[in-house]
Amino acid sequence: MFTQLEKLAKRYQELEELLSRKEVISDQAQYTKYAKELAGLQEKVSLFREYKRTACEIEDLRAVLKEKHDAEFLNLAEKELGELEAKLAGTEERLKNALQEEDEDASHDVIVEIRQGTGGREAALFAADLYRMYTKYAAFKNWTVEQMSAHPTELGGFKEIVFSVKGKDAYRRLKFESGVHRVQRVPATEAQGRIHTSTATVAVLVEPEEVDLAIEAKDLKIDTYRSSGPGGQHMQKTDSAVRITHISTGLVVACQDERSQLKNKNKAMRILRARLLDMKQKQDSKKISQERKSQIGTGDRSEKIRTYNFPDRRVTDHRINLTLYKLESIIEGDLDGFSNALIKAAQEKANGSR
């Protein structure tokens, strides 16, 4: 553990030096990348420095205790030594926890994709509910949300909505949301009061920096077309919508929410970059496209990570068998109960596999 911490402390010093260089300051992409990496190391390095300071104080105090002193001084010194040893043990435990939570993608922002699953119009409405839940959660955490692409329905739901989330610990807390979410409730369109079951799928993707994943222009096919937005005075008169096809993989991303073709292109490229990185990570770990399907799911009712049961006011996460009877507050963005439990379960699983 301490060998790893020495490497992190050395890297922290390197980053501080890099961020002071003129050529890095003038390169916004590189500067942002290094600044994020530095921020991700700050807690671990600060704890490590505190640990070393406390260890030095203990060593000095033990040396003093070997010398001859009066009984009162010895009692005070031994008491202080006990306090320092307790502090050292506490700092070491915090360091272990910080290292267990370490994730190479922890400092990255994320792109979240929500799609309606089975259930027709009710599934689209549930997708909108999930989007609202995550934006509320982001507000509680002081994260920034940017809508990137949306395909709304006439009743106010979404066939699909894609948005980015930027902020401290966004990836660490949201990565567990990937999968199929199931809702059980009486739809507003149900005249006889029958409970329906519908699903929506959520995929949480790391958003890489441009320097992390370069895409060659020759690998792209870019088409423009007229957005299918509202009519009247807002009717699009220019081909502002953009469709980008990554030729080698066949991935297609379309954005039309902005009136500017350039803005739509930039958003489409960000989504494409995130999807390509997701694909590359799966391939690197020998998990091909079939696993991505298993992670996101087909949207079938039987594939679920979490169920939102409105009649009983309960939400159950099936991966850790946790049920919370506070559906209203969860739908309003109170997700820390699940987030904290899932992080803890992941840590325990990692410890058990060592």
pLDDT of residue 124: 94
Quickly state the pLDDT bin for 32 (edges 50, 70, 90).
Answer: confident
Helix (H, G, I), strand (E, B) or coil at 285: coil
Burial of 89 (0-12, 13-18, 19+ CB in 10 A): exposed
Size of the chain in residues = 354
Is the confidence at residue 301, as pLDDT, over 50? no
The one-character DSSP state at 107 is T
Quickly state the pLDDT bin for 285 (edges 50, 70, 90).
Answer: low
Residue type, 5: L
Instruction: Give me the helix-helix angle, 2-18 and 28-65, nearest 10°.
Output: 130
Which residue from 245, 283, 238 is spatially nearest to 261, judged by alpha carbons?
238
pLDDT of residue 234: 45
> Rounded to whole angstroms, how far apart are CA atoms 284 and 213?
14
Tokens of 166: 């930027």
| Residue written as token pair 């300071």 | 53
Is the confidence at residue 291, as pLDDT, over 50? no
The mean pLDDT value for 162-177 works out to 90
Structural Rg of the chain based on CA atoms: 26
Residue type, 66: K
Which residue from 259, 326, 278 is spatially nearest to 113, judged by alpha carbons?
278
Phi and psi at 275, nearest 5°, equal -70, -35
Could you give the dihedral angle defined by the CA atoms of residues 227, 230, 234 and 240, in that order, rounded to the nearest 10 degrees?
-10
Contacts of 263-266 spanning 24+ positions with Cβ under 8 A = 264/240, 265/222
pLDDT of residue 138: 96
Q: How many CB atoms lie within 10 A of CB 125?
A: 23
Quickly state the pLDDT bin for 324 (edges 50, 70, 90).
Answer: very high
Residue 91 to residues 53, 78, 247, 354, Cα–Cα distance (Å)? 11, 20, 51, 22
Over the stretch 234-271, which tens digit does the pLDDT of each residue have? 445 567 888 888 888 888 888 888 888 888 888 888 88
Residue type, 225: Y
Q: How many CB atoms lie within 10 A of CB 36?
A: 17
- What is the Cα 223 distance to its own chain's centre? 31
Contact 265, 242 (CB under 8 A): yes
pLDDT of residue 158: 95
Over the stretch 338-348, which tens digit does the pLDDT of each residue have? 999 998 888 77
Q: Which of 78-82, 157-161, 181-185 has the lowest mean pLDDT?
A: 78-82
The mean pLDDT value for 302-320 works out to 91
Over the stretch 194-209, which tens digit does the pLDDT of each residue have? 899 999 999 999 887 6
- pTM to 2 decimal places: 0.65
Burial of 103 (0-12, 13-18, 19+ CB in 10 A): middle
